[in-house]
Amino acid sequence: MIDNSQMNEIIQNAYGSLELNNFATLGRPDHKMWETPFFGVADGNDPYFDFLREHIGPFHHNPVEAFRLRYPGEGDPSNLRVVSVCFPQTQETKESQAKESKCPSREWIVTRGEWEPLIREFAEKVTAQLDRIGVRSVSSELVPGFVFHEVGKQGLSSSWSQRHVAFIAGLGTFGLSDGLITQKGKAVRFTSFVMEADLDTMPRQYAGHHDWCLYFQDGSCGLCMIRCPIGAISHNGHDKNACADYEEIFATKYWPADIDKSTYIFGCGLCQVGIPCENQRP
């Protein structure tokens, strides 16, 4: 089988061999887009997966259902682990983003727009290594069935929420803006794998889903509200539909002329920098 140390080695080998982890689009092929990833592990039987189905929607997969997208009819939750992998933004990208107040920086646009092909490359490398040592796994990036649903005021919701999976795997808690605050801060993105493995689960160093957010701790923060250019973050939380409307306005009116947007997904992310949880758990 495989232990946590071997899992980390597989993740780091895949990361180190990524061909797409650079800013070639901006003429800087020697500059990394993403810093070294880290990971957490959740048990396939964790009751929080049932909680997600109840509160996000009946369409949200549990680990067995996710595993069966690649191995139909297979999978015992007691033998499954969910590995959530966190990719932090580079300091270069965060500094460029912090200077902006109305639109994301060029670096941020590229890291979001080129995330899908990069993370697919990463997922292919990880699953190939697991396959070679006989560990059956499924990546949310590589099989059909991981889809999005429009859920009223809740907005666009995934059948496999990477942030919620990361919360279950012990990587962090949610802030007022709905971003996940990790030990490396909130300027991060996630992917995950469901696998048959006897990995040690990561204990959650928190009791509630807002424990690492200063606003929810004692009301001492709220800077993400100020950073948002359209007021989509308020004392009532995050308005995902307002975010989506702003993204459409930006993509239509303000997109940089020298960056091809035809294959890009846009993401604002101004609320993830210039705040106490930009780089760390505050």
- pLDDT tens for 85-112 read 999 999 999 999 999 998 899 999 999 9
Which residue, 51, 79, 36, is CA-closest to 195?
A: 79
The per-residue pLDDT for range 5-23, each reduced to its tens digit, is 999 999 999 999 999 999 9
Band the pLDDT of 149: cuts 50, 70, 90: low
- Output the average pLDDT for the chain: 93
Q: What is the dihedral of CA 271, 272, 273, 278, to 10 degrees?
A: 140
Q: What is the pTM of this model?
A: 0.94
Q: DSSP code of 231?
A: -
Say if residue 281's pLDDT is above 70. yes
Buried residues in 84-102 as b, exposed as e (16+ CB within 10 A): bbbbbbbebbbebbbebee
Which residue, 219, 228, 141, 139, is CA-closest to 178?
A: 228
Identity (one letter) of the amino acid at 87?
F
Residue 277 within any structural domain of the chain: no
How many domains does the chain fold into? Answer: 1
Band the pLDDT of 244: cuts 50, 70, 90: confident
Residue 279 within any structural domain of the chain: no
The per-residue pLDDT for range 23-65, each reduced to its tens digit, is 999 999 999 999 999 999 999 999 999 998 888 888 889 999 9
Give the residue numbers spanning the domain of 158.
Answer: 4-272
What is the C-alpha separation between 119 and 97, in angstroms, rounded?
21
Least confident range from 75-79, 136-140, 184-188: namely 75-79
pLDDT of residue 54: 85
Residue 89 within any structural domain of the chain: yes
The per-residue pLDDT for range 217-226, each reduced to its tens digit, is 999 999 999 9
What is the C-alpha separation between 21 and 122, in angstroms, rounded?
10
Residue 250 · residue 268 · CB < 8 Å: yes
More confident residue, 254 or 21: 21
Residue 246 within any structural domain of the chain: yes
Average pLDDT value for residue range 156-183:
93
Residue 122 within any structural domain of the chain: yes
Residue 191 within any structural domain of the chain: yes
What is the C-alpha separation between 79 and 278, in angstroms, rounded?
36
Band the pLDDT of 155: cuts 50, 70, 90: low
Residue 49 within any structural domain of the chain: yes
Residue 280 within any structural domain of the chain: no
